[in-house]
């Protein structure tokens, strides 16, 4: 037996809130924010104050939002990507909560230095995998599935071993020739 709130969610899904309205609002908001921040479409000066051309920015964001919802594949990709990125975000928050249990009462909990870059790299790789999994080809497989299939098919080949060796050598040389880090003065 479904609850009343479950019925409300089902009703919102039937009228297209999740398939049309929310992807449109997400696309419109992101495009509008980027246009406002970058000022690509120009600015205008009114009484000595510079303003962005909000009407043009809004119109372009509006059109792009409608073009996005016109494609069912793009909407499906946006829905899948946004839900999985939220899971990645929740995992990072949970991790920081667990790390925070080892800090004292007056200590700030923040990743700094090498740990910050390690976790930023992990998040970037996670987002790339999420996008590759969300984009489907005509056969219904995702780009990630195709890529993993190719890697597994040729895993024992000399070409894959050569690529892994080259990547390893480049990383090793980069670590050897990178300048040493100078420690910060703790008295400041």
Domain of 173 in residue numbering reads as 139-177
| Residue 183 counted as domain residue | no
Structural domain count of the chain = 3
Q: What is the largest distance, in Å, between two alpha-carbon atoms of the chain?
A: 69
Q: What pLDDT is attached to residue 34?
A: 94
β-bridge partners, 52: 43
- Tell whether 23 and 56 lie within a shared domain: yes
Same domain for 77 and 56?
Answer: no
Q: For 14-47, what is each residue's pLDDT tens digit?
A: 888 888 899 999 999 999 999 999 999 888 888 8
Highest mean pLDDT among 6-20, 60-74, 134-148: 60-74
Written as six digits, the tokens of 106 are 């007056």
* pLDDT value for 184: 54
- Mean pLDDT, range 162-184, rounded to an integer: 82
Q: What are the distances in angstroms from CA 159 to CA 144, 147, 162, 163, 168?
A: 20, 15, 5, 6, 14
In this prediction, residue 77 carries a pLDDT of 87
pLDDT higher than threshold 90 for residue 155: no
* pLDDT at residue 188 greater than cutoff 50: no
Residue 48 lies in a domain: yes
Same domain, 54 and 9: yes
Query: Looking at the structure, do residues 130 and 145 belong to the same domain, yes or no?
Result: no
Residue 65 belongs to some domain of the structure? yes
Does residue 59 sit in the same domain as residue 76? no
Q: Quote the pLDDT of residue 28.
A: 95
Instruction: Please tell me the pTM assigned to this model.
Output: 0.61
């Amino acid at each position: 037996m479904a609850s009343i709130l479950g019925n409300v969610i089902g009703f919102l899904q039937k009228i297209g809130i999740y398939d049309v309205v929310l992807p449109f609002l997400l696309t419109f908001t992101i495009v509008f924010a980027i246009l406002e921040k970058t000022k690509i479409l120009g600015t205008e000066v009114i009484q000595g104050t510079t303003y962005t051309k909000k009407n043009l920015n809004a119109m372009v964001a509006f059109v792009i939002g409608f073009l996005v919802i016109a494609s069912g594949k793009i909407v499906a990709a946006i829905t899948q990507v946004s839900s999985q990125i939220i899971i990645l975000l929740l995992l990072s928050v949970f991790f920081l909560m667990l790390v925070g249990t080892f800090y004292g009462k007056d200590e700030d909990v923040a990743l700094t230095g090498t740990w910050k870059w390690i976790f930023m790299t992990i998040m970037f790789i996670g987002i790339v995998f999420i996008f590759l999994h969300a984009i489907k080809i005509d056969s219904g497989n995702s780009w990630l599935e195709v890529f993993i299939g190719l890697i597994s098919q040729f895993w024992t080949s000399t070409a894959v071993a050569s690529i892994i060796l080259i990547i390893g050598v480049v990383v090793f040389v980069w670590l050897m020739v990178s300048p040493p880090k100078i420690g910060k003065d703790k008295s400041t």
